[in-house]
Amino acid sequence: MEQIQAHRGGALHRAVTVYLFNPDGQLLQRAREKYHCGALWSNTCCSHPLPAEESAVAAHRRLLKEMGLRVELTPVFQLHYRLPLPEGLIEHEFGHVFFGITSRTPAPDPAEAMAWRWQTLPSVAAQLAREPARFTPWFRLTMDRIPEYHAALICMPGLSADYCTLPRRLGTALCRARPGLWHAATRQNPDTVSSHA
């Protein structure tokens, strides 16, 4: 099923969502240049796996295409949502959310992103509270959960900072702090509808 068909009919389909942070803990946001929700601020990258494509592969593929970045990504959580979009479209997705850390400067595809910025999570939360209409619906939905998982990344008692790479440390921290959520996040969900990116 084509992506636009899924959005017009509200068919359930898979999605991937990427949140990138720099070593200072700032979130890389981008303003979309898409056929829906254009010019709204969102997370670093959002897209859809190709038919039979694993979610992690899709996340890496689209991050490179949209923001020009190759970054190790860690699956963090999954969610199912159905949200109305402008022009009568419906975002009905089973989403896989990934985190990554990079100090590189993005080189976005102009057809995918019209602007980008590094923002602290408190700054994002404050702007979201003041002007929610400036953000995509799925970003507004997921943002409440992001600080908790980001805190797990930077606060891990008893785990040496040089134990392993930061994405691996995130997985270790989540496994210790929230084992039920972590195991759920790493299980693959059967595809209901696959849509093209």
Give the start-to-end residue ranges of the domains of the chain.
3-186
Residue 1's pLDDT is what?
Answer: 44
Distance, CA of 8 to CA of 47 (rounded, Å): 16
How far are the Cα atoms of 26, 57, 84 from residue 21, in angstroms, in the given order? 5, 19, 28
Q: What is the pTM of this model?
A: 0.72
Distance, CA of 18 to CA of 59 (rounded, Å): 7
User: What is the assigned CATH class of domain 3-186?
Assistant: alpha beta
Half-sphere exposure of 155 (CA within 13 A, CB side): 7
**pLDDT beneath 50, residues of the chain:** 1-2, 35-37, 156-165, 167, 179-197
Catalytic residues, which ones? 46, 93
Distance, CA of 141 to CA of 145 (rounded, Å): 9
